[in-house]
Amino acid sequence: MRLLLTLVLALGLIPAPVEYSPEKSHVCFKKAVASLEPWQRQEAYRISFTKGRAKIEALTPEGRFRAGKTLEQLKALGELPTGTIFDYPRLRYRGLMIDESRSFKGLDFLKKQIDAMALLKLNVLHLHLDDSAGWRIESEAYPFLTGKTAFRKGRTYHEWEAGKYQFTTADDPEGYGGYYTREELKELVAYAAERYITVIPEIEMPGHSMEVGYAYPEVLCVLPDGRLHTGAWDLCPGNEATYKLLEAVLTEVMDIFPSPFIHIGGDEATMKTWSQCVNCRSRMEEEGYTDVKQLQGYLVRRIEAFVRSHGRRIIGWDEILETGVPEGAVVQSWRGVEGGRKASEGGYDYIMSPNSHCYYNYYQDLIRKEPKAVGELVSLRFTYGYEPLGEGMDPEHLLGVQANLWTELIPTPEHAEYMLYPRLFALAETAWTPAANKEYKGFRKRARRLLDVFRERGYNTFDMDTESELALSGFQRFEQLEQYKANETAH
Ligand code: ACM
Ligand code: ZN
């Protein structure tokens, strides 16, 4: 191993810093950061350790904050190095998404995860605030959104599904749910901002929106006989009432969240009701459309223009690639890495959160030993091995990486933390540390130590000491794991 890399990894830090030298630096800090991108300079810092004292250099309060978190981690790990740490981020967008619709975890939980994110030098918390299972952000203009759908029958998502999607009200002792008030969200935004973390709100459209049609039936598609298409998954993109609601909600959202980005979802619209709907059909005729899919493009373009007119940019899941990406929109790759690749080819800014590597609601170890989860095996080793910049992809347009925590099978805050830690350590290192400084074996040792710090601080974590040989080997597909196991027993 190269000498400098050995030194960087000798520190217990996660994410590992760019450089560590046992010597004092003789280059002036301003000169050391001169060749960096402006967004890297903003977060760059240097810490010189002499005689048990640490001297921080940075160009901004944000840089000083990042340095402070490095010191906090070293202290918690009981390490006091000598020499110099010089550090700055690899990627500008380092995110975590939490789904608050399928299970509602509340303000204290979110603040606690923001503390963890700050320690790991992550800088974006993306909140999935609404989905069919409940609307979680107070709206003055449309009070029934929370009034009629923030509480449901069924403690877990699957109980709710099995009971045929029944909503209830806050006063029902059997009801499950909750929502965030404007004040709570403003408090959260301020709490995050003090830690140099941006909160990006997501208002999902036009799919995953059963609850909106339940609260306000005017956004539903209309059948030729005049009946409403109740229970529909998608909003009606042909109907003006839909835009009136979305624009009113987005205006309120932009008032609460100063984020330069507003996430508008855009994934998994079924478009099932659109071909029969009188409003959708007349919209198609007006616009000269031949395929209902074009209605999704119409909605995304219209909402993008609205958000842009307020000085913000939209982020959409990678389905927005299929109906024409509006100028200025950011594409978030989730169906594997293909969306990111296509966005890169199209010259769009993109964020990588492929389900193959960055979905932390997926299993982190063997099915038989873990709580019920989703998908393939996203073990610590497998997610650590993720390189967001695939061959031929444009680094200029890669904003960053994000882990996603969908909560259909994660009913409690404790369970959510169990799925996040230590895997979020791996994401943090992928996002911050130069790819050349990454090395799994050393990372695993550091993760094991940092996990103890997290436990001391009251986080519920996965137990790395129980990690199976198969997860440790870095396999992903469970079929491969079965094959591997069969070979092991055969030998
Ligand atoms: C998604 O996982 N449906 C974005
Ligand atoms: Zn319609």
**DSSP letters for 291-321:** STHHHHHHHHHHHHHHHHTTT-EEEEEGGGG
Length of the chain: 491
Tokens read off for 436: 């050349």
Task: Kindly give the distance from the C-alpha atom of residue 275 to the centroid of ligand 2, in angstroms, as a whole number.
Answer: 8
Assess whether pLDDT exceeds 80 at residue 3.
no
Residue whose pair of structure tokens reads 């091995």 in the numeric block: 385
Find out whether the beta carbon of 267 lies less than 6 Å from any atom of ligand 1: yes
For position 80, what pLDDT does the model report? 85
pLDDT surpasses 70 at 311? yes
Give CA–CA dist 241/151, Å, rounded.
Answer: 24
d(CA 207, CA 354): 20
Domains and CATH numbers, the chain: 2-87 (no CATH), 93-481 (3.20.20.80)
User: With bands split at pLDDT 50, 70 and 90, how would you rate the model's confidence at 205?
Assistant: very high
Do 117 and 197 form a contact (C-beta atoms < 8 A)?
yes
Residue 269 alpha carbon to ligand 2 centre in Å: 13
Number of the ligand 1 atom closest to the C-alpha atom of 404: 2
Distance 212 CA to ligand 2 centre (A): 14
Distance CA 62, CA 45 (A): 9
Q: Check residue 19 and give its pLDDT.
A: 95
Three-state DSSP at 82 gives coil
The DSSP secondary-structure symbol of 137 reads B
Interaxial angle between packed helices 107-119 and 61-76, expressed in degrees from 0 to 180 and rounded to the nearest 10:
90
- How far is the centre of ligand 1, averaged over its atoms, from the C-alpha of 334 (Å)? 6
Q: Which atom of ligand 1 is nearest to the CA of 355?
A: 2
> What SS3 state is found at 458?
coil
pLDDT beyond 80 at 390: yes
Ligand 1: nearest atom to the Cα of 317: 4
pTM for the predicted model, two decimal places:
0.96
- 222-267: per-residue pLDDT in tens? 999 999 999 999 999 999 999 999 999 999 999 999 999 999 999 9
Ligand found nearest the CA of 407:
1
Q: Are 378 and 362 in contact (CB under 8 A)?
A: yes
C-beta separation of 352 from 365 below 8 A: no
- Ligand 1 mutation pick, 334, 338, 351, 405, max ligand atoms within 8 A of CB: 334
**337-371: per-residue pLDDT in tens?**
999 999 999 999 999 999 999 999 999 999 889 99
Q: Could you tell me the distance, in angstroms and rounded to a whole number, from the CA of residue 402 to the centre of ligand 1?
A: 12
pLDDT of amino acid 344: 98
Which ligand sits closest to the CA of 264? 1
Which of these, 129, 131, 246, lies nearest to 181 by C-alpha position? Answer: 129
Probe target for ligand 1 pocket from 130, 317, 359, with the most ligand atoms within 8 Å of CB:
317
Ligand 1 neighbourhood includes 268 CB (under 6 angstroms): yes
- CA of residue 52 to ligand 2 center, whole Å: 68
Whether residue 7 has pLDDT greater than 90 = no
Q: Residue 488 pLDDT more than 70?
A: no
3-12, 141-150, 371-380: range with highest mean pLDDT: 141-150
Residues serving a catalytic function are 131, 208, 268
Q: Is 317 in the pocket of ligand 1 (CB under 6 A)?
A: yes
Percent of the chain with pLDDT over 70: 96
At 376 the pLDDT is 87
**Nearest atom, ligand 1, residue 268 CA:** 3
Task: Please give the helix or strand (H or E) that residue 193 lies within, else none.
Answer: helix 182-193
Output the residue whose Cα is nearest ligand 1's atom 3: 267
The H or E element that residue 21 is part of is strand 19-21
Q: Considering every ligand atom shown, identify the ligand nearest to the alpha carbon of residue 292 and give its number.
A: 2
Residue whose CA is at the smallest distance from ligand 1 atom 2: 334
Instruction: List the one residue out of 198, 195, 19, 57 whose CA is nearest residue 119.
Output: 195
Interior/surface letters 23-44, b for 16+ CB within 10 angstroms, e for the rest: eebeeebeebbeeeeeebbbbb
Residue 383 reports pLDDT greater than 70:
yes
Mean pLDDT of 453-463: 98
Task: Report whether 47 contacts 84 (CB < 8 A).
Answer: yes
What's the CA gap between 398 and 379, in Å, rounded?
24
Pocket test for ligand 1, best of 127, 321, 351, 406 (most atoms within 8 A of CB): 406
Model confidence over 78-102: pLDDT tens digits? 998 999 999 999 999 999 999 999 9
Q: Which ligand is nearest to the CA of 241?
A: 2
Q: Which pLDDT belongs to residue 490? A: 59
54, 48 contact by CB (below 8 A): yes
334 lines ligand 1 (CB under 6 A): yes
Ramachandran bin of 362, using left for φ above 0, alpha for ψ from -120 to 50, beta for the remaining angles: beta
Q: Is the pLDDT of residue 2 over 80?
A: no
Index of the ligand 1 atom closest to the CA of residue 208: 3
Reported confidence tier of residue 199, pLDDT bands at 50, 70, 90: very high
